[in-house]
């Protein structure tokens, strides 16, 4: 059996933390479901960009739902005990949705590249079948990648009841408390980061070199502003996701970093799916117009 750590060492903060994270979780669900509703309800949003944005909203809902309900349950009941099998299962789905979201963000970069740099061929290249194939490929890749980590993780031995320095089952904390030799698992993390992560990272950021050059050549100031607005929203989401994930997975394993573990875990497991729809909706004029239309109908 494993024990999940408390978010705070002060018992008086349990109820306030429960209420705060319950509110964040409900807002995460509501905002992402609202984006999905707008995309389905407004025919003007039936474009490849919003198809990928809707996919990202579904992943954010799932990504958050893997960890937050369990955290809320632990805050309320103070049980915090989880079996090794349940822990590994939770990690599998968490990694699956995280890798899938990272891959969808790279696909969205490619979509923006085609839309801005090759606008005349955009609808021909980014047709519905191709978009569905891209998303299907992303989900299959996420499932296989997560399964690979879980197969090696399942072979580890956890000798006794140990407290994980996280409110959910994440790979760095699981490797830290294992009684087995974790060298293969650590090597797998770095190999996956170099082989798969490097490709995803390149596909995500490399198109922006060409995009920025192309946008700067656009004579219309309004068109430049619209293009930069769409790209800046996407880049903001990407930077938040990558920075917190990389900080968690590729820093030292010093034992005196419990507070940093908790803060980082909360940020990239809870706050990232909460911030994503806010960033896209606040900086996207078409979504704002669609929201106004929906409110007028109601």
Tens digit of pLDDT for each residue in 99-143? 999 899 999 989 988 988 888 888 889 998 999 999 999 999 999
Closest to 33 in 3D by CA, of 11, 58, 66, 67 = 58
Q: What is the mean pLDDT of residues 24-38?
A: 91
State whether residue 105 is helix, strand or coil: helix
| Residue-level pLDDT at 252 | 47
In whole angstroms, give the CA distance from residue 231 to residue 215. Answer: 10
Strands 162-164 and 81-82: unpaired
2-297 to CATH, choices 1.20.1070.10, 1.20.1090.10, 3.40.50.850, 1.20.59.10:
1.20.1070.10
Q: What is the mean pLDDT of residues 25-53?
A: 88
Name the residue ranges covered by the structural domains of the chain: 2-297
Confidence class for position 258, pLDDT limits 50, 70, 90: low
Q: What is the DSSP string of 246-276?
A: HHHHSS---TT-HHHHHHHHHIIIIIHHHHH
Q: Is the pLDDT of residue 260 over 90?
A: no
- Mean pLDDT, rounded, of the chain: 83
Output Rg (C-alpha) for the chain, integer angstroms. 21
Closest to 285 in 3D by CA, of 114, 51, 44, 111 = 44
| Residue-level pLDDT at 156 | 85
Cα 65 → chain centroid: 12
């Amino acid at each position: 059996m494993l024990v999940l750590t408390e978010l705070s060492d002060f018992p008086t903060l349990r109820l306030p933390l429960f209420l705060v994270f319950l509110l964040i979780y409900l807002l995460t669900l509501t905002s992402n479901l609202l984006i999905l509703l707008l995309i389905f309800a407004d025919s003007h949003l039936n474009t490849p960009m919003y198809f990928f944005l809707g996919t990202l909203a579904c992943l954010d809902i799932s990504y958050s739902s893997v960890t937050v309900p369990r955290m809320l349950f632990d805050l309320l009941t103070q049980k915090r005990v989880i079996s090794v099998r349940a822990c590994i299962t939770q990690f599998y789905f968490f990694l699956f949705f995280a890798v899938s979201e990272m891959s969808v963000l790279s696909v969205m970069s490619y979509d923006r590249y085609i839309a801005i740099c090759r606008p005349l061929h955009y609808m021909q290249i980014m047709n519905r079948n191709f978009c569905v194939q891209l998303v299907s490929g992303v989900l299959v890749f996420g499932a296989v990648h997560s399964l690979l980590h879980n197969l090696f993780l399942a072979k580890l031995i956890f000798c006794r009841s140990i407290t994980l320095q996280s409110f959910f089952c994440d790979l760095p904390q699981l490797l830290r408390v294992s009684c087995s030799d974790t060298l293969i698992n650590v090597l797998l993390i770095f190999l996956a980061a170099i082989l798969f992560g490097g490709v995803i990272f390149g596909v995500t950021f490399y198109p922006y070199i060409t995009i920025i050059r192309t946008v700067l050549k656009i004579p219309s100031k309004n068109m430049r502003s619209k293009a930069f607005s769409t790209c800046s929203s996407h880049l903001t989401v990407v930077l938040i996701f990558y920075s917190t994930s990389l900080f968690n997975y590729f820093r030292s394993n010093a034992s005196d970093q419990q507070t940093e573990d908790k803060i980082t875990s909360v940020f990239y497991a809870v706050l990232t799916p909460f911030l994503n729809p806010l960033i896209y909706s606040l900086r996207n004029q078409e979504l704002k117009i669609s929201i106004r239309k929906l409110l007028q109908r109601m």
